[in-house]
Structures are given as C-alpha cells and as structure tokens.
A and B are shown apart, each in its own frame.
Chain A
Amino acid sequence: MVKNLPVVPTAKAGSLVDTPTGITWRIQYPEILENCNMCLDCTLFCPDGAIVQQEGKLVLNLSLCKGCGICANECKENAIQMIPEYSGVQGVFR
C-alpha cells in the first residue's frame, strides 16, 4: 500500500511582506524629489523591493525600506535624498 507522505509545515507564500523584518534598525530613510525622471533604475537596485513602479508612478513603501541608501547613491539625477530617522537629543522615532 502506498503510504501518505508526512506533511511538512510550509510558510504561506510571501508572508514576510506583511510583517517585514529589519526595518526597525533603520537610521535613515529616502525621499524622492521632484527632479526624478522616472528612469526606474532604483526599482532594480533596491534590495528590498521598497521602490516599485505602479501605474506609471514611482511608489516608495517605507514599511519595507531598510534605509541602506543604495537608491540615493545610484540615482543619476540625484533625485533621492536620505533623511535621518532620529532627531533631537532624545532620539525621537518618526
């Protein structure tokens, strides 16, 4: 008789997207400026898929961004600025 295979626990596809890890240690975040020319380079260089192209627009999802600064470093138009997360002596978290 053919035995049933054991059922292995399996993570739900993409389940980390809703509960991303790692963004709590972010110390800076990107801001996209008006001189962006929509070259879309940053959408392929971001390691976390935090900047994507959606309906012809560039969309930044800060809940996925780890603040690495790659997008700002790579943008040929200098259209991304990195801004510190903490401000003041008490280190206010945005």
Chain B
Amino acid sequence: MALSIADLPKEELFGQGHAGCGGCGAAVAGRQAMKALGSRTIITIPASCMATMGGSNLKTTWQIPFYHTLFEIAPAVSSGIRAALDAQGIEDVNVVSWAGDAGTADIGFQALTGAAERNEHMMHVCYDNEMYMNTGGQTGSQTPMFAKTSNMSKGKMIKKKNMLAIMEAHEIDYVASASIAYPLDLIAKFKKAAEKPGFSYIHILAPCHRGWQIPAEKTIEFARLAVESGLFELYEVDEGKRTRTVEPIFIPVQDYLLPQGRFKNLTQEAIQGIQAGVNRHYGRGE
C-alpha cells in the first residue's frame, strides 16, 4: 500500500529546536527517518554535524535515547546495544547507528564493515553531505571529483568511492540509497530496513548548503536535481534483489553541477565526462 503523508505519525522525535544551521539537509534526513522508525528506537551518532545538532549533555532535541560516540565506533556501540537488549529479552527496539560520510566511509569504516560482516541486527545510516562539515568542510572519500572544499581549493582529483556497492558486497539483508527530496521513498526504505533480522545500510544524499555553496532554501531542490540528472540513483538491494525506485528524467548534469559554488569552475570537458558517465551507467545513447 502506498504511503501518504497524512497517515504518518504526528510525533516529532528529532529536529525541533536543533542546534544546527537553518536549512540543514541532515536535519531533514533525521526528521524524515524518525517518521518511519518511531519512538522504540535507540540511536548512536559519532562526531559530526548531526551529533552536535542533537545537543549536549544539558539539552537535546532527541525524544529517544541518543548516544554521541567516538568517531570510529558508532556501529560497534550499536552492536553492543543490541546485545544488551537481547540479554534482557527486549525485542521491539530499532537499533541504529547514524553517521556522516566521514563517520561512515572513512574513519568509521572499520566498525561498519565489522558490524555488517557479523550481520548484526541493526541498521547503519550514512547522511552524505560529501565533505567533513563539522570541522569546516574538508575533502573525504565521498566528495565528488572536481568539487572544491576548504582544503582542496583546486577541486578533488579522484572519484567518489562507491559506498553502496561496497556495502552490497557484504551481502547484508538490505542496502538502499535515499534522498531527502523523496521523503516517502526514504520512509518506505527505513520501514523495510527496520523489519530485517540482520544488517541494513541506507545511504542518504543530504546536501549541506554551506559546503555546497548554494542558497539555504535550495537544499531540497539540489537533492532532487541530483536524482533527476541520474547522478544519484535511487535504488534498493533487498536480500540480493536490485530495484530502481525512482526513474530519473535525465536533466543535463550541468543543471545540477554548475549552480553550486563548489563546482563553479568546472570545464566543459569535465561536464561532458560526467554526462558520459551517467549515459553509460543507464545505457543511454548507445
């Protein structure tokens, strides 16, 4: 049955009064995800914008148990939380680790690959803003090629590492990409992941207007353009079965790239290369 916004739970479990920037894409991701996960959820978040946004020891926006972990270990802490729940015979709780692109694909990767290998009963969520925002916007493995960041003023010269493919290779229960511009698709994927007995991985493209150098009100718009251009494919791999969940309409990739300050110096040659990559991926124009 198709989801409708009117039927979603009304409770606001994350986001109201949060300590992050106005127009933050990560905050949107958190709010949408919590509509699917509900109050019986325990979440761990390593050092990142999302952790700082949640609050401090004194005040928090979270209405559910939230534990701010060290940078490298959120999926390991969540594995332990699941073991503790199991030991107490508590079954109805979603255990989630939620990290930025650095906390997932770079410094947090060891704990993530370990938890996925063990097929722990939990999910890991990567909210991807394609750079290290909480420390001023440095380049990482999820930064796309050519993007300028605070420590690479000429742009990154290597490609973005494909985290979804890496997680798919772990042969876990569920792998999905999601976008804050397609909330019902995102919520449906979280509901599926929550039902799995083993490990799930969800990778959300959540633009950061500061790092991407776009107007704050266009955070959702750019998340949508990424999907419409085909650069960020929305799909799921449910117990090995791969399905594309949103068909791109193939707007030219430059309509997504050029208005962003971080790509403003892209050459025509680079744009053609990126467009050719999209065409190849979807088997277009052959």
Contact A70 B217 (CB under 8 A): yes
Count of A-B contacts judged by CB separation below 8 Å: 126
Please tell me which one of the listed residues A25, A44, A73 contacts residue B217 in the complex, with CB atoms under 8 A apart: A73
- Total number of B residues with any Cβ neighbor in A under 8 Å: 40
Chain A contact surface mostly: loop
Tell me if A4 counts as interface (CB < 8 A to partner B): no
Q: How far is the CA of A49 from the CA of B14 in the complex (A)?
A: 8
CB distance from B160 to the nearest CB of A (A): 24
**Which residues from A are CB-within-8-Å of B17?**
16-21, 48, 64
- The distance in angstroms between the C-alpha atoms of A21 and B57, with both chains bound, is 15
Task: Please tell me if the beta carbons of B31 and A67 are within 8 angstroms of each other in the complex.
Answer: no
Q: Measured between C-beta atoms, what is the minimum distance from A5 to chain B in Å?
A: 13
Interface size class of A (residues with CB under 8 A): 35 or more
Q: Which of A21, A39, A44, A68 contacts B19 (CB 8 A)?
A: A21
List residues of chain A with CB within 8 A of the CB of B28.
44-47, 70
Known contacts: A13-B64, A14-B60, A53-B10. The answer to whether A70 contacts B219 by CB under 8 A is yes
What per-residue 1/0 map shows which CB atoms of A48-68 lie under 8 Å from chain B?
Answer: 111011100000000010111
Indicate which residue in B5, B12, B63 contacts A40 across the interface (CB closer than 8 Å).
Answer: B5
Considering the chains assembled together, what is the distance between the CA atoms of A48 and B19 in angstroms? 10
From B5, B21, B215, contact of A44 by CB (8 A)? B5
> Considering the chains assembled together, what is the distance between the CA atoms of A16 and B61 in angstroms?
5
Chain B nearest Cβ from A81, distance in angstroms: 13
Chain B 59-75 interface residues, beta-carbon cutoff 8 Å to A: 59-64
Which of A16, A64, A72 has the largest number of chain B CB atoms within 10 A? A16
* Beta-carbon contact of A52 and B12 below 8 Å: yes
Residues in B with CB closer than 8 Å to A9 are 57-58
User: Does B102 touch A at the CB level, under 8 Å?
Assistant: no
Contact between B60 and A16, CB atoms less than 8 A apart? yes
Cβ-based interface call for A10 (8 A): yes
| Closest A residue, CB atoms, query B5 | A40
Q: Which residues of A contact B35 (CB under 8 A)?
A: 44
Bound state CA distance, A45 and B180, in angstroms?
Answer: 8
Q: Are B57 and A67 in touch, CB under 8 angstroms? A: no
Complex Cα–Cα for A69 and B6 (A) = 22
- B10: chain A residues at CB < 8 Å are 52-54
Interface residue A15 (Cβ < 8 Å from any Cβ of B): yes
In residues 19-40 of chain A, which contact B (Cβ within 8 Å)?
Answer: 19-22, 25-26, 39-40
Chain B residues, Cβ within 8 Å of A15? 55, 58-60
B261 within 8 A of A: no
Given A17-B61, A70-B220, A49-B31 contact (CB < 8 Å):
yes
Cross-chain contact A14 with B217 (CB below 8 angstroms): no
Distance in angstroms from A42 CB to nearest chain B CB is 10
Q: Which residue of A lies closest to B35 (CB)?
A: A44
Interface 0/1 of B1-36, CB less than 8 Å to A: 000011010101001111111111101100110010
Q: Which 3 A-B pairs have the closest CB atoms?
A: A66-B22, A68-B23, A69-B217
**10 A-B residue contacts at CB 8 Å?**
A11-B60, A17-B61, A19-B17, A44-B5, A44-B35, A45-B183, A47-B18, A54-B10, A68-B217, A69-B23
